[in-house]
Structure 1
Amino acid sequence: MFLPLHDGVPLKNMKTPLATRFLMGLCIVAYLVTFYAPPGPDAMVGGLGFIPAVLFGTEVLPEGYPFVPVELTLVTNIFLHGSLFHLIGNMLFLWVFGDNVEDAMGHWRFIAFFLLCGAAASLAHAYITPEPNRPLIGASGGVSGVVAAYLILYPRVKIWGLFLKGIPLHLPAYWTIGFWFALQFIAAFLGGDDSVGWFAHLGGFLVGAILIPFMRRRYDPVLARVQAQELQAPR
């Protein structure tokens, strides 16, 4: 287990990560509606969650489901979470890593990036999952794309995080995110909790790594070198 806590990387191109906060707000509102308002959790998951078998036409939901065209559930499922711990874990990753990735892209491109990673993660899950009838929900796929982008942008920045059973460590991003990725890979291929979409995590991470060179702001090697020196300076 790994939970990021703080990275301390200052924003260079904006004052407030509006898109990150907007996406977090949508997830929180969706969670409150799911569990504390009609029609209730089961209906919300059936109406907005992503079910691979429904997308592929091998299963049909009752009349009235899903609430949106089935293709859109590749995205709508991102904002649903099955428990408070599920929500907090994803929001913590998005809070720590999202602002700096948004800073490197801009608000609108960051939202598009997050949704593309989330949709790609859903498709990766759909083509690999052994249980296509089980709904997929959660922002993990989009968050995994953000994590990959952060690793490429800030590989040597030191991050405070909790490892394994809550051990606090301050390590470079390539170690912390590498540890997290290794856990996802091992769980996906060696049999982790089957209620978790491990291949969605891997798919989102891969797409995030592919997209970041095209969606970041124009690369300025001089500015990048100055920023890298500032980040590596003692604090």
Structure 2
Amino acid sequence: MFIPLHDHNPLAHVRRQYVTWGLILLNVAVFVVVQGGGLSAPALQASSLSFGLVPAVFFDYRDLAPELAIVPEGASIVTYAFLHGDWLHLGGNMLFLWVFGDNVEDALGHLRFLVFYLLCAALSGLAHALLDPQSIAPLIGASGAVAGVIGAYLVLHPRVNVWVLAFGRLPLRLPAAWVLAAWIVFQLVMAFGAGDEQVAWWAHVAGAAVGAVLVIVMRRRGVPLFDRGL
């Protein structure tokens, strides 16, 4: 619907968004090094089982083959968020993180933003797993964590203008509230409408809700909500 390109929102508290940059680089590195850059189907499948969130394994209904049990089962609640199915999946998530992550990092501070991001990943993944705890389909992707960033940005900066490509081709400058609220509504519609079963729609919804709540309690003292005073 909307592809974000750039927001007019300078940083106020940090000089550089080091954690946002680091997360993007780490996601790209994992996809290239661990997942073979999407060029090897066996590498994608093995990494998805080893590091992805498999609800049945997480809740001890199933066990992974010994050669695939690389990390503790509980760790997959976070490691899944650094894997992606292909370059399009990776690029879409990293684009949203690039455009909106810096200002959320600015509002929280570097360390708290990292904790925030990992909590959004973990809680959105948990929400997905609880919906079908005996599922053997691995969940991968940073979408839940990035949805948390989107939810936080919506609470912090709804009035900031964002350049987007509407329907993939029409450049528009719109308030962030329109763009991000439309994204969240789309996730809800697809979740309730039983959209593509390969997409964890409820993880996106949960991530956005978690991010919106966490930013209220984790933001720096004095950082306003909803662009008050803009």
Find 1:62's aligned residue among 60, 65, 77.
65
Q: Which moved more, 1:195-204 or 1:35-44?
A: 35-44
Q: Which moved more, 1:164-173 or 1:5-14?
A: 164-173
Which residue of structure 2 lines up, in the alignment, with residue 35 of structure 1? 36
Which residue of structure 1 lines up, in the alignment, with residue 204 of structure 2? 201
Structure 1 moving runs of 4+ over 4 Å: 36-39
Question: 2:55·2:133 contact (CA, 8 Å) conserved in 1?
Answer: no
Quick one: structure 1 residues 18 and 220, their matched pair in 2 at CA, closer, same or farther if it must change by over 3 Å? closer
Q: Give me the whole-angstrom Cα distance separating, in 1, the residues matched to 2:190 and 2:134.
A: 16
Quick one: structure 1 residues 56 and 168, their matched pair in 2 at CA, closer, same or farther if it must change by over 3 Å? same
Root-mean-square deviation (CA, aligned residues, Å) is: 1.8
**Structure 2: runs of 5+ lacking an equivalent:** none
TM-score, structure 1 as length reference: 0.90
1:94-124 CA-partner distances (Å, limit 9, x unpaired):
0000000000011110000000000001011
Paired-residue identity, %? 47
**Is 1:127 aligned to residue 133 of structure 2?**
no
Q: Give me the whole-angstrom Cα distance separating, in 1, the residues matched to 2:169 and 2:190.
A: 19
Which residue of structure 2 lines up, in the alignment, with residue 181 of structure 1? 184
User: Any residues of structure 2 matched to 1:148-227 within 5 Å, and which?
Assistant: 148-219=151-222
Which residue of structure 2 lines up, in the alignment, with residue 8 of structure 1? 8
Find 1:86's aligned residue among 69, 89, 95.
89
The letter of the residue matching 2:221 is R
- Specify the SS of the correspondent of 2:137: coil
1:18-71 CA-partner distances (Å, limit 9, x unpaired):
000011111000010112599822221111011001111112111133311111
What is the aligned length? 225
Q: Give me the whole-angstrom Cα distance separating, in 2, the residues matched to 1:163 and 1:136.
A: 28
Q: Displacement of 1:163 after TM fit?
A: 2.4
TM-score, structure 2 as length reference: 0.92
- Specify the SS of the correspondent of 1:40: helix
Q: Displacement of 1:82 after TM fit?
A: 0.5
